[in-house]
Structure 1
Amino acid sequence: KILFGSQIVDYMIVVFTNGDAFDDGDTLDDYLEDCPEFQEILKECDDRKVLFDNRRNISEFKKEKQVQDLLNLVEQISRKNNGKSYMADLTLELKENEVTFEEKQKQIEAMKGSSSKQEISQVKKEVEKSYNEMLHGIKEKISNQLKESLRDVKEQLAKAQVAREETEKKMGEIQKLSSDEIRKLREQLNKAESETASLRRELNKKCSVL
């Protein structure tokens, strides 16, 4: 989510492998009961998950079923998002520019019979310039998205580092308090033992006098 944005979960499928390692009667859901982190991820992506076996001797029927399960989830995502891909805006822009470029190419081809080489060369330069500007713009958008994502990642890591340092500091304080408490208890125990020994000596003296 940090790298690709919060909407990535609308397009996400969690794929598990090594399904044939489960004991008879065990299921993936049984295994995930002890994995709250995975449960949280699956909850965010509407429990879209698929399990594949690793062994080569898996039956064709089971293999086809596992692949079909994945394709069904892909179809489900497509319907949910009205056929729109995750980077649909960028894809649309690329297609539009591709159409424009093809039209310009046709225009250049049409000019060959009626225009001078200089005119055709000028149009080619304009088309090339326009195409390069388009590519530069798209690269700029992708670069900015990556920079923003990396900045978010660094911020999250910095926060995690601060949280870790604060936790370590608190743990140190707790350990110090614990050490102080243990020391005080030992002092009290030694004092009690000393007083007990003193009372015993006094009691023994009195018994001797009697």
Structure 2
Amino acid sequence: MAINAVIFDIGNVLIEWQPERYYDRIIGEDRRRAMFAQVDLHGMNDLVDQGHHFTDTIYDWAEKYPEWRDEIRMWHDKWIELATPEIPQSVRLLRALRKHAVPVFALTNFGVQNFDYATTVYPFLNEFDRLYVSGRMRMVKPHAPIYQAVEEDCGLAPNTLLFADDRIDNIEAAQARGWQTHLFDGPQGWAARLVAEGLLEESEAA
């Protein structure tokens, strides 16, 4: 089946997203484990991804847990250190596809304010032909409406979309709509898939 657009997730596909790693470095693994056991930080982040205000959500969450207030606020104040580094080969793949005039979209669970901030640090986030950011859309993966919204906006048949994401639930939701998919577990495998699909030459995918 022909591929008319390639769709990238961002977190752990183009930019590493490892909050636990950051906290292990700053407060130590034992304290990080204790905090994550008491505080649903990923649930807090889910609200941001759904479109709740980045600063207000995290600071309000911090006030619920005075013993962890400073650490929770780091999720906001040091956010770019949680979302780092970029994955260079994935960025090269994005740019190589664009050189071939292959439409390249992003479909990401990401907040409004922190995405805008990320674009100032990672310029390649401004290079997509279409951006589908959950916080702006107020719908998130892996729920069907966000995939439907992508289809309706781009006007392409679902079976002509090739989507890479690191989470199996997001992949399965796309497959249910007929998308072609790639479960991302590193840039080398993604590069090989793009070559196999005839979208890039091996030399361009390195």
Q: TM-score, length-normalised on structure 1?
A: 0.25
Higher relative contact order (CA 8 A, sep 6+): 2
More helix by share: 1
Bigger Rg over Cα: 1
